[in-house]
A and B are shown apart, each in its own frame.
Chain A
């Protein structure tokens, strides 16, 4: 099936969603996704950040779709034409969605453990407006501990439902879900029951914001001061293959997470023993440094060669400034 996204064509399998087709093309035309998670069945369609315009339905029925559609849940048709960043309507709608997501978000990034690897930060930076028009009190919740290793801070939650799907599909039995409705909705275990099973830690990895955090890592360090290293161990849990990313601060492993791809999705879910209990280098076989996108704040301390951006290359003034800055930093 042929689909054209922002004038770039690609052949995909029937049943592929627009979002996945865009990810196959890659680059700037990939719509952002806050709730869709390819490893979780039924996820997506909720956050509405991935809205795109279908300007031609298919070869057979070329009518455009009347509304913007959620690209993560709309499958491609043969000959479909999609506009993402080439449609002002989509840009405007996305800006609106980002604004909606942020009106009740506390913006406590300076004290949030997720800062630096937060998808909402990236989304707000890339697609949002600089100022808010919301002038009312934001929704707040008490922090609750779900189990001794995970903390839930609902105030930051954007209700993407990913953790509910993890609880449903990855862990043995589901014990948390959504309570209440509208903007009072909250993720909860209802009686702050401990989330206690071998895979519960994965809710931390799938959370796009800092609502679910690792209590063994809380306030230990900013992620951009840590160094990610790939490692594995022989895990005796049958569903876990022990492939992880270790986050080093100096000599110490201060955090263990699953390996995440460029869209922030984990490659394989890991068990709680690997995540919370194995925090010594001796527990692991080190494979090498984790490759981090040069756009990520995590890579900011790991540049070892000068790689100026294209825009810097063409502007002599910027080039000079860049060179000076690089020299200053390498001297330090």
Chain B
């Protein structure tokens, strides 16, 4: 069994309470950081650890922290992005539900490192139970002197607030999140300026994912170099993967980055293969917005190397034959699942969640959804497939925020890899509404590439 850093004590009864968490070594990072380290040293440790943002983009966290502007007399903010609305991703919710003090501990250390005296945890409006859990945990920490004025007698003040949003996917985009946090309509801002210069209330702000902030705790406890030893290459540390779909044992797994994809899907410690003895057809490796891959391309790269669960290996092959680690929302599809229907479903989600601010995304997501709906229900034309590719290209890269890209990629990649299935939906319109296409050749081993 691999090393666990975040979920080590997850099965200890009462770990969601302060006393049990503390008895398991909790809040040691706060003591270490506030009493023995300077903020610059903490940023340096995080840089050394090579921790990359766990929210999807994979931007190095230490680097992000060092970009924070530090003008005199202007307050700085740390905002934790707990909006987690990517379909297929539920790792942050799991973390916050079962081990809320880990997030709070991470928030205290990170806020200290950034010099923030007010920090926010922004949660999606649907996560009402988690809001109560976190508020209870904050009250406990405050009663024990880990929050509030003069923490542990070090003279450092920190107020931590939990703020629910209205429940919108777009508010997971950092500038839309800040708008929403300020009490406005959650429209993404036009960048530049980036939040590190002018974020919340126009002050320098860092926005980090829940898991990134939680990962700061083991980095401080063990040191950045120790953390960097876990993982492979530039993908260091552990990552929570929320595995869903037709798996024998779905759930949230903490993996060491660099685990082989095959081991993750079929290994006894992990998902234990596909449910009901079926075969794997396709995989969405990192939340609905990353490109979908057929089973054979997911398990092996085009160069016939084993694919690993890491930032680099998953994106091997670029958009042609690769995907992305994203936020770790792992969805597996067995041979009975319809890719056209799945693509339509994703598209429907993005249509519903587009903020409507910029034209390509506002109009394009709706258009793609309607065309896909038509294909799925057997009214499509062969030309619709090329139309979809073209519309997705017109959206991709031309929008204010990455939602446009996120809406375009699943459609473009589904057509790239499963075009035969889309065509079958057109040519066998009636059959397509009554039965599935089946697995075709998506699980067959790849032919070796000849130079």
* A→B interface (CB under 8 Å): 44-49, 51, 67-68, 70, 73, 93, 96-97, 99-101, 103-104, 133-134, 136, 158-159, 161, 177-178, 180-185
Which residues of A sit under 8 angstroms from B364, Cβ to Cβ? 100
B185 with A178: CB separation less than 8 A: yes
Partner of A47, one of B352, B359, B367: B359
From A185, which residue of chain B is reached at the shortest CB distance?
B356
A96 to B395, CA, bound (A): 8
Most buried by A among B170, B360, B399: B360
A182-B351, A182-B365 known; A101 and B400 CB under 8 Å? no
From B170, which residue of chain A is reached at the shortest CB distance?
A181
Which residues of B sit under 8 angstroms from A96, Cβ to Cβ? 360, 393-395, 398
Which residues of B sit under 8 angstroms from A93, Cβ to Cβ? 394, 398
A192 to B366, CA, bound (A): 27
How distant is A169 from chain B, measured CB to nearest CB, in Å? 16
Which residues of B sit under 8 angstroms from A180, Cβ to Cβ? 356
Most buried by A among B185, B358, B395: B358
A178 with B356: CB separation less than 8 A: yes
Determine if B190 is an interface residue (Cβ-Cβ < 8 Å). Answer: yes
Which residues of A sit under 8 angstroms from B400, Cβ to Cβ? 45-46, 70
Partner of A97, one of B170, B357, B393, B398: B398
A73-B190, A136-B370, A182-B362 known; A99 and B394 CB under 8 Å? yes
Determine if B387 is an interface residue (Cβ-Cβ < 8 Å). Answer: yes
Partner of A67, one of B168, B170, B397: B397
How distant is A90 from chain B, measured CB to nearest CB, in Å? 10
A182 to B387, CA, bound (A): 21
From A159, which residue of chain B is reached at the shortest CB distance?
B356
Partner of B359, one of A44, A101, A134: A101
Determine if B355 is an interface residue (Cβ-Cβ < 8 Å). Answer: yes
A182 with B353: CB separation less than 8 A: yes
A32 to B45, CA, bound (A): 49
How distant is A37 from chain B, measured CB to nearest CB, in Å? 15
A158 to B359, CA, bound (A): 8
A101 with B398: CB separation less than 8 A: no
Size of chain B's interface in residues, with CB distance under 8 A? 29
A49 to B355, CA, bound (A): 18
From B393, which residue of chain A is reached at the shortest CB distance?
A96
Partner of A159, one of B352, B362, B393, B394: B362
A100-B394, A103-B363, A133-B387 known; A183 and B358 CB under 8 Å? no
How distant is A287 from chain B, measured CB to nearest CB, in Å? 38
A182 with B352: CB separation less than 8 A: yes
Which residues of B sit under 8 angstroms from A183, Cβ to Cβ? 351, 354, 356, 362-363, 365-366
A178 to B355, CA, bound (A): 11
Known: A48-B358, A182-B351. 16 other contacts (CB 8 A): A45-B400, A68-B397, A96-B360, A96-B394, A97-B359, A100-B363, A101-B363, A103-B367, A104-B363, A134-B367, A158-B359, A178-B185, A181-B353, A182-B353, A183-B365, A184-B356
A45 to B191, CA, bound (A): 10
From A74, which residue of chain B is reached at the shortest CB distance?
B192
From A73, which residue of chain B is reached at the shortest CB distance?
B190
Can you list 25 contacts pairing A with B, beta carbon distance less than 8 Å? A45-B190, A47-B358, A47-B359, A48-B359, A96-B360, A97-B360, A99-B394, A100-B362, A100-B364, A104-B363, A104-B366, A158-B359, A159-B356, A161-B357, A177-B185, A178-B356, A181-B168, A181-B170, A181-B353, A181-B356, A182-B351, A182-B366, A183-B356, A183-B362, A183-B366
Partner of B355, one of A51, A68, A182: A182
Instruction: Flag B323-366 by CB within 8 Å of A: 1 or 0 each.
Output: 00000000000000000000000000001111111111011111
How distant is B400 from chain A, measured CB to nearest CB, in Å? 6
Instruction: Flag B362-405 by CB within 8 Å of A: 1 or 0 each.
Output: 11111100100000000000000001000001110111100000
From A134, which residue of chain B is reached at the shortest CB distance?
B367
A44 to B359, CA, bound (A): 12
From B354, which residue of chain A is reached at the shortest CB distance?
A182
How distant is A127 from chain B, measured CB to nearest CB, in Å? 13
A103 to B363, CA, bound (A): 7
Which residues of B sit under 8 angstroms from A51, Cβ to Cβ? 398
Which residues of A sit under 8 angstroms from B352, Cβ to Cβ? 182
How distant is A269 from chain B, measured CB to nearest CB, in Å? 24
A45 to B399, CA, bound (A): 9
A67-B397, A68-B397 known; A100 and B359 CB under 8 Å? yes
Most buried by B among A47, A49, A97, A178: A97
Which residues of A sit under 8 angstroms from B397, Cβ to Cβ? 67-68
Which residues of B sit under 8 angstroms from A47, Cβ to Cβ? 358-359
B360 with A100: CB separation less than 8 A: yes
From A139, which residue of chain B is reached at the shortest CB distance?
B366
Partner of A182, one of B356, B360, B394: B356
Instruction: Flag B397-433 by CB within 8 Å of A: 1 or 0 each.
Output: 1111000000000000000000000000000000000
Query: What 4 A-B pairs are tightest by C-beta distance, nearest first?
Result: A96-B394, A185-B356, A100-B363, A45-B190
How distant is A139 from chain B, measured CB to nearest CB, in Å? 8
Instruction: Flag B179-198 by CB within 8 Å of A: 1 or 0 each.
Output: 00000010000100000000
B356 with A68: CB separation less than 8 A: no
A103-B363, A136-B370 known; A181 and B354 CB under 8 Å? yes
Which residues of A sit under 8 angstroms from B365, Cβ to Cβ? 182-183
